[in-house]
């Protein structure tokens, strides 16, 4: 008798997707396969693997059983087709872009991004011949206005870092679809529990697994997720996917692998050559973090809303940028796209400017002053002098990281303790 296939909820999939008991020992938890290589059955088997005619494990730079479970789990949680894990969030962007762009190609990005991404796009990516236009995402027509003949992708964040602003993802997705351009969405701050970009027009999703998905500040990682909903064979705009690849007997990735052709391109070609591999040990830690993702993200969001409401009435605070507040301009978008809350990242502006920001950071005790978000611990930082320091003053302000801004990442501590520490630090 065959088991009936069931459609499981998010929490169940976060624990079980991609995993099964280890076949030899019966170990229930996914083992750490700390190995570089795998024994082939015979020479024919090895040849077929290297030609991409069979699926299996070759070398841990490309494929590893622990990492594969992580990839399958996150693809499942993102309602997508396939995924490729890598060493960091920045690496995921590098892999996605390098698989789509050629020299002298152009892409469009929101100007409300993590400072490291703006710098990566504006500085490093230009060295590869990739030109970027940054636009204000609050008016989605800005994306359409910047589209050129050589525009190959649009990039946005679901929740922006640092101020938690929200892009109208569905509207941007319609623009991207109209011009047959992939919409690439960084879903790091939302995670698949709070939001599924694939349901609203995204074609490719990236994550820094270092943040909420891992959840405890122990492990670096990133992932590229192929939603499986973009036709790369429609025209010759993406030759790396539609045209023969000489290194694999002239296969056409999108033709051969269909709706997961992009993921195969990323893994078999781009990851192979760039080498930004995720370690199996980090994959193991991240897998364990995912198992409690739904519980953590709900608590993160609940705590953040309480803190934001407290701070919006604080005498030392001039404004709070959090989409969960009814007076926030992104409130309606938050209700539309984030039914379980808008996450734990937001910014505040202090009335006494930069000096007040420095004082608050240095006086915080419970809140850790670190260059990270998405930890179980509450975190604090002054973006203008740290995470966004490489940007110009104008770029900082556009990104929501002016000199009078503090970024908070609200953790899972008792809410009274978080508020007390913030109150003591801000005075």
pLDDT digits (tens, 9 = 90+) for 133-145: 999 999 999 999 9
Instruction: Render pLDDT for 129-178 as a digit per residue (tens, 0 to 9).
Output: 999 999 999 999 999 999 999 999 999 999 999 999 999 999 999 999 99
Q: Look up residue 205 and give its two tokens.
A: 């999703």
- 3-state DSSP assignment of residue 117: helix
**Residue 153 contacts by C-beta under 8 Å, 6 or more apart in sequence?**
97, 100, 101, 107, 108, 181, 182, 183, 184, 204
Per-residue pLDDT, averaged over 42-59, amounts to 95
pLDDT band at 2 (very low <50, low <70, confident <90, very high): very low
Structure confidence at residue 1 as a pLDDT band (50, 70, 90): very low
Measured on CA atoms in the order 309, 398, 95, 281, is the torsion positive or negative?
Answer: negative
Find tokens 């309480």 and name the residue: 306
Banded model confidence at residue 5, pLDDT cuts 50, 70, 90: low
pLDDT band at 4 (very low <50, low <70, confident <90, very high): low
Structural contact between residues 260 and 226, judged by C-beta atoms closer than 8 angstroms: yes
User: Residue 3: pLDDT above 90?
Assistant: no
Q: What is the pLDDT of residues 111-129, one digit of tens each?
A: 999 999 999 999 999 999 9
Helices and strands per DSSP (H, E), number in the chain: 19, 12
Which region among 61-65, 90-94, 316-320, 389-393 has the lowest average model confidence (pLDDT)? 389-393
Percent of the chain with pLDDT strictly greater than 90? 94
What are the structural domains of the chain? 10-289 (3.40.640.10), 294-426 (3.90.1150.10)
Alpha-carbon distance of 135 to 145, in angstroms, equals: 9
CA pseudo-torsion sign 284, 286, 291, 296: positive
pLDDT above 70: residue 190: yes
pLDDT tens profile 219-241: 999 999 999 999 999 999 999 99
**Does the pLDDT value for residue 181 go beyond 50?**
yes
As a dihedral over the C-alpha atoms of residue 42, residue 45, residue 46, residue 50, rounded to 10 degrees, the angle is 170
The string of DSSP letters for 160-176 reads: -TTT--B--HHHHHHHH
Least confident residue range of 4-8, 164-168, 274-278, 410-414: 4-8
Decide if pLDDT at 346 tops 80. yes
pLDDT beyond 60 at 335 = yes
SS3 288: helix
């Amino acid at each position: 008798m065959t088991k009936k296939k069931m459609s499981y909820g998010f929490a169940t999939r976060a624990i079980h997707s991609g995993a099964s008991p280890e076949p030899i020992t019966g170990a229930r938890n996914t083992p750490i396969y700390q190995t570089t290589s795998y024994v082939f059955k015979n020479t024919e088997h090895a040849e077929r693997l290297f030609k991409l005619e069979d699926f299996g494990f070759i070398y841990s730079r490309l494929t590893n059983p622990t990492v594969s479970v992580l990839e399958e789990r996150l693809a499942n949680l993102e309602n997508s087709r396939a995924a490729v894990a890598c060493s960091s969030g920045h690496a995921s962007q590098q892999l996605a872009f390098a698989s789509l762009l050629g020299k002298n190609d152009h892409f469009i990005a929101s100007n409300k991004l993590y400072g490291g991404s703006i710098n990566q796009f504006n500085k490093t990516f230009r060295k590869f011949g990739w030109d970027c236009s940054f636009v204000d995402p609050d008016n989605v027509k800005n994306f359409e206005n910047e589209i050129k003949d050589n525009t190959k992708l649009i990039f946005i964040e679901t929740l922006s870092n640092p101020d938690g602003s929200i892009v109208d993802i569905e509207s941007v997705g319609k623009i991207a679809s109209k011009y047959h351009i992939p919409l690439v969405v960084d879903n790091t701050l939302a995670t698949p529990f709070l939001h599924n970009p694939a349901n609203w027009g995204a074609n490719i999703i990236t994550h820094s697994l270092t943040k909420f998905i891992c959840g405890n500040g122990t492990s670096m990682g990133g992932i590229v997720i192929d939603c499986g909903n973009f036709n790369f064979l429609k025209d010759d705009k993406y030759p790396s996917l539609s045209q023969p690849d000489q290194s694999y007997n002239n296969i056409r990735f999108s033709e051969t692998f269909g709706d997961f052709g992009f993921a195969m391109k990323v893994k078999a070609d781009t990851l192979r050559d760039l080498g930004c591999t995720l370690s199996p040990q980090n994959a193991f830690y991240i897998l364990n973090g995912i198992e409690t993702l739904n519980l953590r993200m709900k608590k993160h969001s609940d705590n953040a809303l309480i803190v934001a409401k407290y701070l919006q009435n604080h005498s030392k605070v001039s404004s709070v940028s959090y989409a969960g507040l009814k007076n926030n301009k992104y409130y309606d978008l938050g209700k539309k796209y984030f039914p379980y809350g808008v996450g734990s990242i937001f910014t505040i502006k202090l009335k006494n400017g930069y000096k007040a920001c420095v004082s608050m950071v240095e006086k915080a005790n419970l809140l850790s002053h670190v260059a990270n978000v998405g930890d179980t611990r509450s975190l604090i930082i002054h973006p203008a002098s740290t995470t966004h320091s490489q940007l110009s003053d104008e770029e900082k302000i556009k990104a929501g990281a002016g000199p009078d801004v503090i970024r908070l990442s609200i953790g899972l501590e008792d809410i009274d303790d978080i508020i007390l520490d913030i109150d003591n630090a801000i005075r």
